[in-house]
Amino acid sequence: MTRIGVVVFPGSNCEYDALGAVSALGAEAEFVWHSATHLDGFDGVILPGGFAHGDYLRPGALARFSPVMEAVAEFARAGGAVLGICNGFQVLTEAGLLPGALQKNRGLTFLCQPTTLTVESTASVLTRDAFRGQELVIPINHFSGSYTCDDETWASLVAHDQIVLRYKENPNGSRDDIAGVSNVEGNVVGLMPHPERAMSTLLGSADGRVLLESFVGAPVGAR
Amino acid sequence: MNYPIIVDVTLREGIADPEGATIERALPALGFNGISHVRAGKSFRMNIDAEDESSALAIAAALAQRLLSNPVIENATARSAAKG
């Protein structure tokens, strides 16, 4: 059975949703406190949404210095599947595990709404079971979700097929409508929308399932 | 010696600044005209133990690079806060 670690920082608040979602897909999931120094025995690691360390200074700026982040970096280097959702995406960019940065939303508006996403690449651990061009309705819930990077980084993202998801209608001013990116290898992925909140049509959408199924099924050393 | 230092963090040129833009848009309504290119930023004040002021500034610059700013989108500069 796939074992997934869900990292919990002081101030995380989507860890139960993430744990519940991957458990519902058959994974064996458990919480990993931010002071942990290793991730042995896990097949994948999720950094969930929330406000790690109160988002003081900048979202993710303090969380990246938590002891567990060295273990996450080591896990990622070894090819392990790493997923950052919302605040987790911000932490991964601050830690330098993903390119770019997340800025305050255009218009300084906190956004909590469903968005339609387009799958742009299937070469990541989050999208390998989806198809290119597939549209997914998944909610966003953030204030600092405007993806920003310089021209050189953007060109590199395009060249290496690292733009994983785009918004169909840009809600927050993200460069090139980017909603999620991966590293070059495709084993580290971050996105602002919350797939763990789109697991049931009864609650609005089940479109997050294909993403988390991809992730849960992704073996270590994908691609 | 103990040196008072200020680190200023501002968004890099070309990075959108929704806070600065919002402030700028509010100014005419308050009667402030002719003000443009408003950029919002952060300022950190601290006291640093060091041998001399240039060492204190070097420590502050390192701290600014590592923690206080995100070099992907921000610039940071350290300066003395001593009155003089």
Q: What is the pLDDT of residues A71-106, one digit of tens each?
A: 999 999 999 999 999 999 999 999 999 999 999 999
What are A82's strand-pairing partners? A45, A188
Predicted pLDDT at B84:
59
| Chain segment A101-138, per-residue pLDDT in tens | 999 999 899 999 999 999 999 999 999 999 999 999 99
Give how far B18 is from chain A: nearest CA, Å: 6
State how far the Cα of A199 lies from the Cα of A102, in Å rounded to an integer: 25
Total structural domains within chain A: 1
CA pair distance A74, A138, nearest whole angstrom: 30
| Closest residue, chain B, to A146 (C-alpha) | B16
**What was the pLDDT predicted at B70?**
95
A96 Cβ partners below 8 Å, 6+ apart?
A: none
CA distances A156 to A106, A150, A152, A221, Å, are 24, 10, 6, 22
Has residue B8 been placed in a domain? yes
Q: Residue B72 sits in a domain of what CATH number?
A: 3.30.1280.10
pLDDT confidence band for A219 (50 / 70 / 90): low
Check: CB of residue A216 under 8 Å from CB of residue A21: no
Is A222 inside a domain boundary? Answer: no
Is A92 at the interface with chain B, CB within 8 A? no
Contact: B16, A173; criterion CB under 8 Å? yes
Q: Confirm whether B76 is domain-assigned.
A: yes
Instruction: Look up the domain containing B55 and give its range.
Output: 2-14+40-80
pLDDT of residue A221: 45
**pLDDT tens profile A141-184:** 999 999 999 999 999 999 999 999 999 999 999 999 999 999 99
Query: Is residue A195 in a domain?
Result: yes
Going by pLDDT thresholds of 50, 70 and 90, the confidence category of residue A20 is very high
| B27 in any annotated domain | no
Which residues of A belong to the active site?
Answer: 86, 194, 196
Check residue B83 and give its pLDDT: 74
Residue B60 C-alpha, separation from nearest chain A C-alpha, in angstroms: 16
- The mean pLDDT of chain A is 95
Mean pLDDT across the stretch A26-46?
96
Which chain A residues contact residue B14 at CB under 8 A? Answer: 150
pLDDT band at residue B82, thresholds of 50, 70 and 90?
confident
Residue A223 has pLDDT above 90, yes or no: no
Distance CA B84, CA B78 (A): 17
**What is the total count of domains within chain B?**
1
- Dihedral sign, Cα of residue A118, residue A160, residue A180, residue A214: positive
- Interchain proximity B70–A103, CB inside 8 Å: no
Cβ pair A94:B16 closer than 8 A: no
Q: What is the mean pLDDT of residues A4-20?
A: 97
A220 pLDDT more than 60 = no
List the beta strands (DSSP E) in B1-84.
2-11, 41-49, 74-80
Please name the residue of chain A whose CA is at the shortest distance from the CA of residue B67. Answer: A61
| Residue B20 resides in a domain | no
> A218: burial class by Cβ within 10 Å (0-12, 13-18, 19+)?
buried
What residues make up the domain containing A14? Answer: 3-217
Q: Is the pLDDT of residue A218 over 70?
A: no
B-facing residues of A in 162-181 (CB < 8 A) are: 173
Instruction: Kindly tell me if the per-residue pLDDT of B17 is higher than 70.
Output: yes
Q: Look up the ipTM and state it.
A: 0.84
Q: Tell me the shortest Cα–Cα distance from B47 to chain A, in angstroms.
A: 19
Residue-by-residue DSSP string for A48-92 = -SB-GGGG-SSTTTTGGGSHHHHHHHHHHHTT-EEEEETHHHHHH
CATH code, A24: 3.40.50.880
| Residue B54 burial (C-beta neighbours within 10 Å; 0-12, 13-18, 19+) | exposed
pLDDT at site B14: 84
pLDDT computed for residue B16 by the predictor: 87
